[in-house]
Structures are given as structure tokens and as C-alpha cells.
Amino acid sequence: MSMSDTEIVTLLAQTLGADRVDASNQAREIAAGDFFRVTEPPACVVRPRDKGEVARAVACAARAGYKVHPRGGGMSFSGGYAPRSPRSITLDLTAMDAVVEINAQDLYVIVQPGCTWLKLYEELKAQGLRVPAYGTRSGRQATVGGSLSQTGVMLGSSRYGTTTEQVMGLEVVLADGTMVRTGHWAFGPRRPYYRYGSPDLVGPFLGDFGAMGVKVEIALKLIEWPAHEAAASFSFTSFEALHQTETTIQRLGLATEMIGLDESMQRLSMEGTTLGDGVRAIAKALKGKNLVESVISAAKIATAGRRFLDEAAYSLHVVTDGRHKPAVTAQMEEIHQIALGAGGKIIADTVARMIRIDPYPDMDQVLGPKGERWVPMPFMFPASAALAAMERIRAVLEGHRETIERLGIEIGLLVGSYAPALSNLDLMIYWPDRPTALHRATASKEKVAQGERLADNPEARQFLSGLWSELIDATAEFGANYIGIGGPELKFRQGRDPASFELLRTFKRAIDPDCVLSPGAFDLD
């Protein structure tokens, strides 16, 4: 059956209720792309409140010949949820944001996909619990379901790996509306305390941008909240020294979070920091359970000022935690020995402390310090290949120096090390360009007003799209992986073992033969 946009909107409203369906231009414009690209606006945005409504919406759209693009908080940049056809709907899952169950004895939590990492963090912390890798820095708006669809990393990742590695089981809606559970959860009782015990059917639904199924409930593992933590920051004169320090610390399992910054990223970070940010940080620090430690943290942040990184070509910011204070102290002493042994110098630990004081900062970070557009280009490598890969990236960027300078593009580097032995080189790209509808819906009015003063810059966007493609080609030999890869232009298929790709495509065809869900993702259709 084939329908018009008007007919599918009417049918969805009749099926789910008119308040669940939004065909306004504003909603469609926001759903028409991510932070890097704008594609086709969907016919409408559907906001289900429970998994039954998800199943009915997907089945309804499929029968009408419409594609379905599941979407969480929208904190994406690689085209995975961006509509590719005008005959599509966006499934906005942010209304499904409940923390369904916290099981402190069996150490798992069940959440709906639209739950933000911030909400989950706060509800768990109140009970002295935490997901081991507890989301991305955009977790004020980024959702659990969205992050699992993109293999999110950052908070807790140096010790515990990616957010996807915390999953114990999933409940998903397939393209025909069928609901299935994975992991031990599939055996009946509502106790997803173990992922394995049979062939692992969790994996295909992770990092999938919703192309395999729509996550409607998610079970994550838990740990007790560490009683003690410590932070430190160091400066280095070379990337090589930073990399050596970071990978040694990571290999020994000494840190829970590590963030490395180059000089450009440090400057951009400081330009985006205001006195008000410092005041808010101190207020948050004073809400800590340990008042003495909170006052010390606040005092250090206040006295460090905003120029503590001015002399650092590279900086590393490390947080470690644990159950016993002597153990945490010993870990931090070893971290200092490693950093100083590689030529590092101790600097104010403001950035490191802010990771814990304010793990999910406000969403003005989606625009640059002057309102510029921003996109990260993340490249993940085995730790042994990161130095050579960085040299190749530098060579590519140097070859475009004139164009980069002419277009006003600024590039910073964020370096992460994640368990077990992964190095993430994250190019943070800023360029003068007007904000999109998604930016206007995400950042503050003041920040958006900065961006509105900038001219539309399609030339820069086209250049950056080509640059991203060139960097993917240039780093392929180093075993690069691309976190959040989604759109076909990011070359998921390139260099992949043909038999492995065909197996994945066979699985997709078996459960979604008409490519209803997230068509275009991973070049599977």
C-alpha cells in the first residue's frame, strides 16, 4: 500500500493519537539532519510513550511504504539517523525516558531508550550505584539508546571501555513490529543479569543506528559508586610523550577517565569558558558528599584561573577512583611517576576535576566559542598504531593548510585511551557557519545568537565532507575504526572482509527485507 505524506500522518495519528504525531515544519526541520549535515525532512515526527506504540508506529509505516529513522537526543554527526528519503518518518524516542528498574542486588538497571545519561546518573548515584562506563559528555541531552546505537565513549571508558560493553540485554522492535528480547533476558523472568549463555544476539543491535531494530528497553550492568577519587593534570611538549603516558596508564588500568588535548583544543576550550562557568563549577563542587574534598576542589578551580594551559603544547587530564583511599592514592602516585618519567610537568588539575564535578556540561558545547559550527571527526586505532596514524593525519591536514586557513577552519585534537588498548584521535573541527534548526533547538538563545551573525558557508561544509573522506582513506591501513559511523559516505564497507559484510547484510535482510529501518546506514541496502 502506498500513501501520501498527508495520509501517513493521518493514519499514524489515528493509530497512536494525534498528540503523538508532529508534522510541523519546526519538528521536521530539526529531524532533517544532525550536527554536520541536513538531509531530507521526514513526513512527520512520531513521539511514542511506550514500546507498544513503537511497535504500532513501525508496523504502520512499513505497511504504508515509509521508512523509519529511530532517533534519541540527536547528538550525532555522522548521518546514521538522518532521513535519506522524503517517504520517511522520524521516531523520536525521547519521551520514553523512564528508569524502569534498579536492581542493586543483581547489579543491573533497566532503562527506556530516551533516558538521558544525566537522568540515569542522578538516579543511580542516589543509591550509591553507577554504570561502569556512564556515557558521553553530551549526556545532558544524549540518550542511552542513542549512545548505544553509536558506540558512545568517554566517561569511565579508560577503565571500562565503550557504553556498548555495559549492555546485559535489550528489548527491540523489529521492522515488522515484532518485539524480541536478547541475552539471558530472553529466557523469561524479568532478570537480565547475564548477557551470554547462548549465541549473543545483543551485539547486532549495538552500534547499528537503529538499522537492525528499535531499542525499547535496555539492561545495563552496575557497579557500586567508588568511595574515593583523585585527579591530576600534566603538560607535555610533544604528542609522542602524551601518547606514551596515556597508553602506559591505560594498559596498567590506573585511570577511569583520561582526556588529552593539543594546544588548539586547549585554546578553544578556554575561549569557551566564562567566569560564570567557574562560579557554577564551584557551586556544583560544594554539593559533593565530602564537604572538605569539595571545598578543596572548588578552591583549586577558582585559583587556577583560565590561563593555566597557556604554556602547554599538549595536556593530559586524568581521573582515577576506587573503594579504598590508600589504593586510589597509590594509583595516583604511579600515574605521576609515569607522566613525569615521560617528561611531563604537573599543572593545575582544573580540567580533570571538572570531569567529575560537571560530567555533563550544558549543551552550548555544540557550537564553538564564537558561535561557530562544530563537528568531531573521531578515529579509533589500536594503541600500537596511533603514532603512525597521527603522522598520516598531520600530513593530510598540512596538504590542505591554505584552504583550511582561507575558510577560517580551526582544528583541535582530543586524545582518548579506552580499555582494553584503544587510542582515539578525535579531530574537533570548528568553522564559521550559521547554525541549523537542530543547533537552535539544542544550544542556549545567547549561544545561537552568536552563530546567527555568521554567514552560511556551504563551501566549508563541502570541503570538510571531502576532508573526512580523505582522512578515512589515509588511515585505513592502521586499522582505523570510526565511532558513530552511520552514513554511506563514511565508507563502512570499504576494506571490510567481504564474507563478514555479506553475513551482516544477510542478517539485515532476514529481519528487515524491505530496509524499513534506517535505510542508508552502513550501506546495507
User: Sorting pLDDT into bands at 50, 70 and 90, what band is 1?
Assistant: low
What is the reported pLDDT for 485?
61
- CATH 3.30.465.10 domain position(s) in the chain: 99-224
- CATH 3.30.43.10 domain position(s) in the chain: 5-95+514-523
Q: 345-391: per-residue pLDDT in tens? A: 999 998 999 999 999 999 999 999 999 999 999 899 999 999 999 99
List Cβ neighbours of 36 (8 Å cut-off, separation of 6 or more).
Answer: 77, 78, 79, 375, 461, 464, 465
Determine the topology of domain 5-95+514-523 in CATH.
3.30.43
- CATH 3.30.70.3450 domain position(s) in the chain: 228-361
Q: Is the peptide bond before 420 cis (omega within 30 degrees of 0)?
A: yes
What is the reported pLDDT for 274?
42
Nine cell digits for residue 121? 546518573
What is the reported pLDDT for 37?
84
Taking the C-alpha atoms of residue 206 and residue 338, their distance in angstroms, rounded to an integer, is 35
What is the reported pLDDT for 487?
58
Q: 456-500: per-residue pLDDT in tens? A: 999 999 999 999 989 989 998 998 887 666 555 567 777 788 999
**DSSP conformation letters of 214-233:** EEEEEEEE-EEPPSEEEEEE
| CATH code of the domain made up of 99-224 | 3.30.465.10
Closest CA to 320 of 230, 453, 217: 230
The residue-averaged pLDDT of 509-525 equals 88
Element (H, E) at 261: strand 257-262
Residue 276 has pLDDT above 50, yes or no: no
Taking the C-alpha atoms of residue 309 and residue 352, their distance in angstroms, rounded to an integer, is 12
Q: 223-272: per-residue pLDDT in tens? A: 999 999 999 999 999 999 999 999 999 999 999 999 999 998 888 876 65
Domain 364-489 has CATH 3.30.70.240: yes
Closest CA to 450 of 466, 438, 467, 433: 433
Residue 415 has pLDDT above 60, yes or no: yes
List Cβ neighbours of 139 (8 Å cut-off, separation of 6 or more).
Answer: 116, 117, 118, 121, 147, 155, 359, 360
Q: What amino acid occupies position 19?
A: D
What is the reported pLDDT for 256?
97
Give the pTM.
0.92
For 115, phi and psi rounded to 5 degrees? Answer: -65, 130
The residue-averaged pLDDT of 294-316 equals 58
Q: 314-327: per-residue pLDDT in tens? A: 999 999 999 999 99
| CATH code of the domain made up of 228-361 | 3.30.70.3450
- In three-state secondary structure terms, 345 is strand
List Cβ neighbours of 268 (8 Å cut-off, separation of 6 or more).
Answer: 368, 369, 410, 412, 428, 430
Query: How many other C-beta atoms can be found within 10 angstroms of the C-beta atom of residue 79?
Result: 22
Average pLDDT of the chain is: 89
Range of lowest pLDDT (127-131, 141-145, 249-253, 489-493) = 489-493
Q: 432-460: per-residue pLDDT in tens? A: 999 999 999 999 999 999 999 999 999 99
Nine cell digits for residue 255? 585511570
